[in-house]
């Protein structure tokens, strides 16, 4: 199983290298008291950490520089080993709380695991909570636990004839790996990938968890037998830490239709309260051009739409000599079209106008504005200079 790292800020915490369980002190009255709303958090989530025998891990920064496990007793967290304020301490200390505790002894923990096939450790991540607080010496430390990850649930209303089973729901191009600074809420060394959702046996919804994403452009793919339905979440959507997102999706026999956009709602919650719905668009049969055209760097899809001729997709592009591009389906490289072998560029009079599923990029013969057309049935392609 791959391990994806979530790192609390080492610079903020500055834990001692030895990470002592109990710093030496001569003042027993300096014992640190902990409280938390974690009991309420668990009640909402239907969890009981005491019955499960799981503990909360508390990491204390300098000058306390220690860590311990703690159990929940009402609104109090009772450390297995007492932590103490440092002798003559005046500066505040940063505390990080983690549930469930895996015996962490440093500020870097392994908390987000996904198997090689994209199936995740959903139960663990669904229960994962974190808290960060800075407290002055002598005060009671109240740890405000919340979810540092993002949860998405897909509710499918399957109206297809015969109601064939939805066999898989996959989130593509989501954030699955990063060094996450829990204290600052920032991430570095981010990596995107695919996450296969887990079906909730009680609700029937497909649920997935991944890292927070700003201005995300994930693709949602539903497998129904050999048929794939692909949907794109609207641009500008932010997946925020501690929030849950629910998509209500209806599949019908006429879904999808080339050139049509099928929307469904995306409801954002903070695990309980409903907020703003977000729109998504079906791109199952969508074709687009992508490359170095229009100032892009293989990162901007230019959608081809159905024109006056039924079934023929088209777009107008600005092309500069030397640029390259390809066509691809559903904003994914599984099905893509490039120049067939032996063709150097579009515009050869003898060329028959067809593309291949190839690694060869498309090049045009001269700079200018072009109308491109594409037939997704036989892959016939034209590029006509617009006068």
Query: What pLDDT sits at residue 39?
Result: 57
Query: What pLDDT sits at residue 312?
Result: 93
Would you state the structure tokens that stand for residue 13, as one six-digit string?
A: 């915490």
Helix (H, G, I), strand (E, B) or coil at 165: coil
DSSP letter (8 states) at residue 84: B
| CA distance linking residue 250 with residue 227, whole number of Å | 15
Query: What pLDDT sits at residue 27?
Result: 43
**Integer angstrom CA distances of residue 272 from 41, 201, 243, 244, 265:** 11, 20, 9, 8, 17
- Please name each of the domains of the chain with its CATH number: 2-143 (2.60.40), 150-282 (2.60.40.2630), 287-385 (2.60.40.3620)
H helices present in 118-213, as ranges:
122-127
Strands 227-233, 186-196: pairing is unpaired
Query: What pLDDT sits at residue 7?
Result: 46
H helices present in the chain, as ranges:
10-13, 38-45, 122-127
| CB crowding 82-111: b at 16 or more within 10 Å, else e | bbbbbeebeeebbbbbbbbbeebeebebeb
Residues 6+ apart with CB under 8 A from 168: 196, 197, 221, 222, 223
Query: What pLDDT sits at residue 171?
Result: 86
User: Nearest 5 degrees, angle CA 279-CA 281-CA 284?
Assistant: 155
Secondary structure element (H or E) that encloses residue 306, with its range: strand 302-306
Judge if the upstream peptide bond of residue 63 is cis by omega within 30 degrees of 0: yes
Spell out the per-residue pLDDT of the chain, length 387, in tens: 333 344 443 333 433 333 334 443 444 459 999 988 665 555 555 555 444 556 888 989 889 999 899 887 777 888 999 999 999 999 999 998 888 777 666 554 433 544 445 666 777 777 778 888 999 999 999 888 878 888 888 888 888 888 889 998 888 888 877 777 776 667 777 778 888 888 988 888 898 888 888 776 777 888 888 788 877 776 666 788 888 887 777 787 766 533 333 444 444 443 433 334 445 677 888 999 999 998 888 988 999 999 889 999 999 999 998 899 999 998 888 899 998 887 766 665 445 567 888 888 998 888 989 999 999 988 888 888 886
Q: What is the pLDDT of residues 318-364, one digit of tens each?
A: 999 889 999 999 888 889 999 888 776 666 544 556 788 888 899 88
| Short-list 209, 215, 213, 183, CA closest to 195 | 209
Query: What pLDDT sits at residue 353?
Result: 64
CB atoms within 10 A of CB 215: 9
pTM value > 0.75: no
**Integer angstrom CA distances of residue 160 from 121, 232, 252, 340:** 31, 21, 5, 37
Q: What is the pLDDT of residues 91-139, one digit of tens each?
A: 999 998 888 777 666 554 433 544 445 666 777 777 778 888 999 999 9
DSSP letter (8 states) at residue 122: H
| Short-list 323, 329, 199, 220, CA closest to 278 | 220
| CA distance linking residue 275 with residue 266, whole number of Å | 10
Helix (H, G, I), strand (E, B) or coil at 319: strand
């Amino acid at each position: 199983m791959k391990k994806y790292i979530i790192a609390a800020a080492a610079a903020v915490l500055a834990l001692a290298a030895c990470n002592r369980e109990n710093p030496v002190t001569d003042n027993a009255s300096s014992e640190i008291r902990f409280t938390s709303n974690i009991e309420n958090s668990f009640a909402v989530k239907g969890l009981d950490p005491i019955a499960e025998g799981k503990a909360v891990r508390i990491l204390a920064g300098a000058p306390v520089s220690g860590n311990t496990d703690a159990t929940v007793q009402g609104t109090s967290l009772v450390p297995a080993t007492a932590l103490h304020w440092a002798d003559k301490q005046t500066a505040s200390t940063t505390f990080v709380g983690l549930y469930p505790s895996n015996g962490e002894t440093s500020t870097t923990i392994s908390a987000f695991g996904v198997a090689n096939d994209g199936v995740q450790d959903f139960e663990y991540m669904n229960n994962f909570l974190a808290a960060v607080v800075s407290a002055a010496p002598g005060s009671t430390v109240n740890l405000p636990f919340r979810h540092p990850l993002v949860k998405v649930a897909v509710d499918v209303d399957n109206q297809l004839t015969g109601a064939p089973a939805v066999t898989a729901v996959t989130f593509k191009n989501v954030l699955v790996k990063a060094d996450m600074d829990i204290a600052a809420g920032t991430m570095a060394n981010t990596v995107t990938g695919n996450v296969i959702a887990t079906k909730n046996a009680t609700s029937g919804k497909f649920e997935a968890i991944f890292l927070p994403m700003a201005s995300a452009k994930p693709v949602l793919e539903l497998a129904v037998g050999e048929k794939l339905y692909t949907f794109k979440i609207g641009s500008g959507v932010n997946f925020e830490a501690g929030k849950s997102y629910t998509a209500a999706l209806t599949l019908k026999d006429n879904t999808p239709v080339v050139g049509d956009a099928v929307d469904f709602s995306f409801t954002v919650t903070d695990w309980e309260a409903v907020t703003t719905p977000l729109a998504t668009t079906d791109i199952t049969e969508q074709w687009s051009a992508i490359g170095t055209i229009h100032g892009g760097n293989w990162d901007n899809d230019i959608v081809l739409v159905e024109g006056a001729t039924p079934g023929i997709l088209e777009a107008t592009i600005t092309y500069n000599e030397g640029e390259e591009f390809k066509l691809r389906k559903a904003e994914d490289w599984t099905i893509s079209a490039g120049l067939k072998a032996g063709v150097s560029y579009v515009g050869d009079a003898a060329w028959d106008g067809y593309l291949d599923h190839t690694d060869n990029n498309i090049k045009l013969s001269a700079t200018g504005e072009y109308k491109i057309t594409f037939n997704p049935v036989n892959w016939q392609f034209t590029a006509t200079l617009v006068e």
